[in-house]
Each structure stands twice: as C-alpha cells, then as structure tokens.
Structure 1
C-alpha cells in the first residue's frame, strides 16, 4: 500500500478545501470499499480526508412527506430507522442484504453509493482493465464473466454495480445532494450514475471535488408496500447475481402503481421503466408480471456464460410481484372486513 497522510474534516467547507488542496486526496467514509482497493493498489491516494465527524449523520422527515438521509448515516442506522422501516421497507431489506453486520456498522450511505463498479479483473492490477486503465481492454468479455452485465453494457466494460441500497433508492426516484466549489447541487439518482459507453472509468456525474451530503427521497405512498429480494451464490455475505426492488399498488385486481429496479444486471442500478409502463392498468397476475418482465429484458445482450441471468431476473420479478399482489389483496380484504364490522 502506498503511504498516505490522514486528516479529519469537521465541516463541509473544510472537507472541500482539504480535497482541493491535494488532487490525489480521497474522501473517507467508512472505508469498506476504498481501503480494500488501496490494499490491492487499485487506489493510491496521497491523503485521506475523514468525513465521519461531519454533521451529516441524521435521517429526517421532509416537509413534503419524504425523507432526507445524511451522507454519513451508517448503513446499520439507516436500516433500523423507524421511518425507513415504515415508509420504505425495501431500503431496510436492501441494506440488511448488502453486507455483514460489522460492515454495515462502518459503511456510510454516501460511501455506499460511490462503491466502484467492478469485477475481478478490475481488482487485479496485473490484468488489463478499461475501468482502471482506460484503453487497455476488457478481458471479462472473453474470460470470467458469469456475473457480468446483461443490460446497458458495452464492448469496453461489462462489470455490474455492487450496491444493494442504490437499487432500492432507484426504485423510488431518489436524488443525491452534494456540495462543490461552485455551491450546492442535486442529481436524480437516475442521472447520478453514467452509462458505461466508451468511458467506463467515469462512473458518476458528480462535479470534480464534490462531496455527497445526502439523499432525498420524495414521498411515495406505494413504497410502503415494497420489497427487496436478492439472489446470491451463498447465503452469507456476498454480492448479488440478481436482485429486484419492487413496490405495488393494486386496486380491484388492477395495478394502479408499480416501481421496479434491478440490481447486478448493469453498470448502474437499472430502473425497469418498460416493465412499469406495461403493468400500470394491467391485471395484477403472474401472466401480466411475466409479460412485463419479458418486455424489459428484451434488450438484454448476455455473454456466453451469463445468459442464465435473463431467466433468473424474469422469475425474480414475477415472484416478488406475485407476493406483493397477494399482500395487497389481503390488506384490502382486511380493511373491507373491518369497515363492514363497524357498520
């Protein structure tokens, strides 16, 4: 590991100034991704600017009914927060599926969103990698790629984004707030992550030197009936090979509103807007769910060894939506029975 200096920031202007003074410095949240990459030589910062003392560690209700989540809120605190559990349960489920308890206690919301999109070749500095060294090639395309992207990839990179939390946030139109030398700004999560294209080393639309200050979740009544389901190769802590964040509002057997986002299928969380459009106004049954999933996945371009993901994701979408539809029906019947008994 390259030697580095360490400095703690106590307010946002101080943090920005410290990074501006040293172009090779990096912000440090929990360090659960950055420090690992420093150990392998992928990241070689000259200085770490510790952000854990910044006053960005609260989850607050917004005036419009949404939530504001500070960038240094730990994953454990986010998952346990009562407002998150009540109004956005898929977020809690995603965080709890994302890592071990020890890592959740350290990892921060801002750091989670900035995890590097990566595969095994990215972490091995003896191998070429367009993401790590632009122009050197993507050996995953002809090598080990069983967990590579099936949507939105390019000939330059087929790595998938590792964050579970980001998938759940994508389903509910979250926005990322930040501070930079030019003042505050905000990016919709859908715009925060850049398409991989021919510049896979450019992962986010954050301005240079910017600091994430939080995440804003707009009010979404449908999110109260949401779930996150993750498929992985072992039951213990592991990255997803496929995941779905979903929310469903069913009235009289018809889909009134739906939110769907997919994980481990692309270089960024994948909002399944084609499937959402197909489902609104459709019957809330397995056939309609399967048809919508098939429409979403019609754009998939799997490689020789990751084609299984198409069927896996289709089946996962259907299973989660069937469960949500059943829960919605049960809730509606219970409400109707309660109203009848009061008459």
Structure 2
C-alpha cells in the first residue's frame, strides 16, 4: 500500500501552496484518478481536494458566452438551462458519456484531464511510453480496435476518451488556469497534445497549474443546427469507437455560412481540420458537400489492422452527423430527466 497525504484546500492559494508534496494531484470527482491509482498507473503522494473551492458556478461570461466552473459536475452542466438552451451540442455530448452515476460525480475540469483508456496503459506489466517513457508501446502490433487512426506516432497510438471534450473543441472553448505564477488562458485547440515523441504529456498544462473555468464563446448561430453522434459497442456506458460533433450555420437558401466539425476517439486529442470546415462554407448543404468534408477531415487516416474499420465508420459518421445537424438540433435532455440532479 502506498501512503497518501490527503488535504482539503480551503482556497486557491492553499491548493497551489508549496507546503504540499511535489508528487501531488488535484482531485474533484476522482472518477478517473481513483481508477488509475487502484491500478498503480498513477501514484501521487498527496491528494489535494479542490471541491471546497468556489469553482462550481455556471454563469454568463463578460464576453457574452458562458463560464463553466471546473468543479461543477458533468450532470449539473448538461442540465443547466444556459447550457441546454444555448449550447445543446455540449448537453448531448455529456449525456452520451459514461453513466448517470459517473456524470453525477465527474467534474468539468477532471473531464478535460482524463487519461487514455488504452488496455496497455492500464496494465503496468506491459510496455507503455505514456506510462513509462522509453519503454515502448505494446499496443503497436497488439490489440488495436480502440486505437488511433489519425495523429498517432511511433511511440503511441492511444486515443482521448472524452465525449465532452469533442463538443468543447467544436465550440472553441477556452480553458482558464491558475498557478503560483499567475493566471493564463489556453485555447481548447492547444490544450491537448498529439503524442509525437512525448506521449506521457497529454496536455499543455504546466506542473502545478489548476483549471478554474472553461469559457464558451457566444454560439447562438449554431444552436438550431448541431448534432453529437457516437458509435460504440453497446448502447450505454461505453467509450466511443468514433464520435462526431457537428455544428452548422445555414442560411434560408440552404448555403452553409459557418461550420464546426470535430471527430472523437480517433486521435490523442479531439480531431479538427480547418480545411474540412472551410469546404462546407459557401456551399449548399447536402450529401456531396458533406462527403467532401468527410474526406478532408479524414485525410491521412491510417489504421493498425484491427481498427481499419474506423476509417470507413468515421467517414459515414461525419456525413450522418452533418445530416442530423442540418435537420435541426435534437434535445435529448428529456430522455434522462429525473435520473440526474440539477
């Protein structure tokens, strides 16, 4: 058994204080961190509980968007009227993930920091460059059904598992963080990393930085035409094989004025390609336009054998998600009403 020091932070300054051990981890819901600790994948010597910090509000931002507190629970976020009405894509993505019990515990900040669900990452008896840099990647040549078809490297082919993050990438969220050196903002596109030569680094967070808020810019023009589509092995409580976040701003003439298109569970981070979105803008929404965007989004995709099917699945998923978005946003929050608290 590994000894652990548990500290309840009374304020942000205390959470960042130097009196805590350097091998520390912030904990809110703990739905991923506790699993990693049980499997000996992560072994922090100090857990700093941040649930007592005033970081759970969901409120309008000064810029006219929305601020999501880092310790606000996923369920509370999904069902909040400001999210459900103004950012239905985010509601749909959150409710597609995990289970009601986990959504009731999981925090917004923690969702961004989920580690990969690669079998080899969780098995400390196998080689994993993410867990032990330089040890090799047992996934390459192994069981690859869940693994990356885009953005992989010779050192790691794992995928990021979050549904919420796919929607946040499409919404062009901004992550607010604080450290002993001050505060900074990170564009969501820059928050998660591709594996390259350092797959152990999932994000661009510096050591000791704490997520305080996630800011959503105004997105009213997309609210009526958005869709989150998730393909998985079973209907609930399963990570995606492929997921798609699609948002369209369509004129009365059927021409696309603006678009956002992001793939999930195909790379080490939510996968967005500006060329694919640009190919939609100025064109009439329809099958040919959508198929062309799908081809551009998946340009360079390469399977590992077992997961080759994900390329075809992703292409069809993109087209279907765009079709659903064009048809109009579907409010799925009522399907879960009463099962999770506000």
Q: In 1, are the aligned partners of 2:226 and 2:326 still within 8 Å (CA)?
A: no
SS at match of 2:328: helix
Q: Is the 8 A contact 1:222 1:247 kept in 2?
A: no
Matches within 5 A, 1:282-321: 282-321=283-322
**RMSD across aligned C-alpha pairs, in angstroms?**
1.2
Report which stretch shifted further, 60-69 or 123-132: 60-69
Deviation at residue 222 of structure 1 after TM alignment = 3.0
Q: Which runs of 4+ in 1 moved over 3 A?
A: none
Spell out the pairing of 1:86-235 with structure 2 (5 A cutoff).
86-224=85-223, 225-235=225-235
Q: Secondary structure at the match of 1:141?
A: coil
Counterpart position of 1:27: 26
Offset of residue 24 of structure 1: 1.0
CA deviation after TM superposition for structure 1 residue 127, in Å: 0.5
Count of paired positions: 327
Determine the C-alpha separation between the residues in 1 that align with 2:16 and 2:222: 35
Output the CA distance in 1 between the equivalents of 2:6 and 2:222.
Answer: 40
Q: Which whole-Å deviations, capped at 9, do the CAs of 1:100-156 have from their partners, x for residues lacking one? A: 111111100000100112400000000010000001111111000011101111010
2:204, 2:158 → 1: CA distance?
18
Rounded to whole Å, the distance in 2 between the matches of 1:166 and 1:68 is 15
User: Which protein is richer in helix relative to its size?
Assistant: 1
TM-score calculated relative to the size of structure 1: 0.93
Q: Once the 2 structures are TM-superposed, how far is the Cα of residue 317 of structure 1 from its aligned partner?
A: 0.9
Q: How far, CA to CA, are the matches of 1:199 and 1:64 in structure 2?
A: 35
Q: Give the Cα–Cα distance (whole angstroms) in 2 for the partners of residues 193 and 172 of structure 1.
A: 15
The answer for the alignment partner of 2:340 in structure 1 is none
| Closer, same or farther: CA 222–310 of 1 in aligned 2, 3 Å | farther
Structure 1, 154-163 or 244-253: larger mean CA deviation: 244-253
Larger C-alpha radius of gyration, 1 or 2?
Answer: 1
**Match of 1:121, SS?**
helix
How many angstroms apart in 1 are the aligned matches of 2:316 and 2:274? 17
- SS of 1:127's equivalent? coil
Unaligned runs of 5+ in 2: 330-342
* Cα deviation, residue 204, structure 1: 1.0
Matched, 1:278 2:279: yes
Aligned residue number for residue 36 of structure 1: 35
TM-score normalised by structure 2 residue count: 0.93
How far the C-alpha of 1:272 sits from its partner, in A, is 3.1
Once residues 94 and 27 of structure 1 are traced to their aligned partners in structure 2, the CA distance between those partners, rounded to angstroms, is: 25
Structure with more contact order per residue of length (Cα contacts < 8 Å, sep ≥ 6)? 2
1:2 aligns with 2:10: no
- The Cα offsets for residues 228-276 of structure 1, whole Å up to 9 and x where unpaired, read as 1111101120110000111111110211111111100100111232210
2:68 counterpart residue number: 69
Of residues 4-13 and 223-232 in structure 1, the stretch that sits farther from structure 2 once superposed is 223-232
**Preserved contact between residue 24 and residue 47 of structure 2 (Cα < 8 Å):** yes
Greater Cα offset, 99-108 or 295-304: 295-304
User: Is the 8 Å Cα contact of residues 72 and 107 (structure 2) preserved in structure 1?
Assistant: yes
**Residues 172, 223 of structure 1: 8 Å contact kept:** no
Q: Secondary structure at the match of 1:253?
A: coil
Question: What is the SS of the residue equivalent to 2:196?
Answer: coil
Counterpart position of 1:13: 13
CA contact (8 A) 1:89 1:223 kept: no
Q: Secondary structure at the match of 1:79?
A: helix
> Is contact 2:8-2:49 (8 Å) kept?
yes
Which moved further from structure 2: 275-284 or 319-328?
A: 319-328
Instruction: Check whether the contact 1:25–1:49 (CA below 8 A) recurs between aligned residues.
Output: yes
What is the CA distance between 1:175 and its match in structure 2? 0.8
- 8 Å CA contact 2:250–2:256 kept in 1: the answer is yes
- Aligned partners of 1:70 and 1:316: how far apart in 2? 31
Q: CA deviation at 1:221?
A: 2.3
C-alpha offsets along residues 142-198 of structure 1, whole Å, 9 cap, x if unaligned? 000011101111010000001110110000110100001110111001111122101
Aligned to 1:240: 240
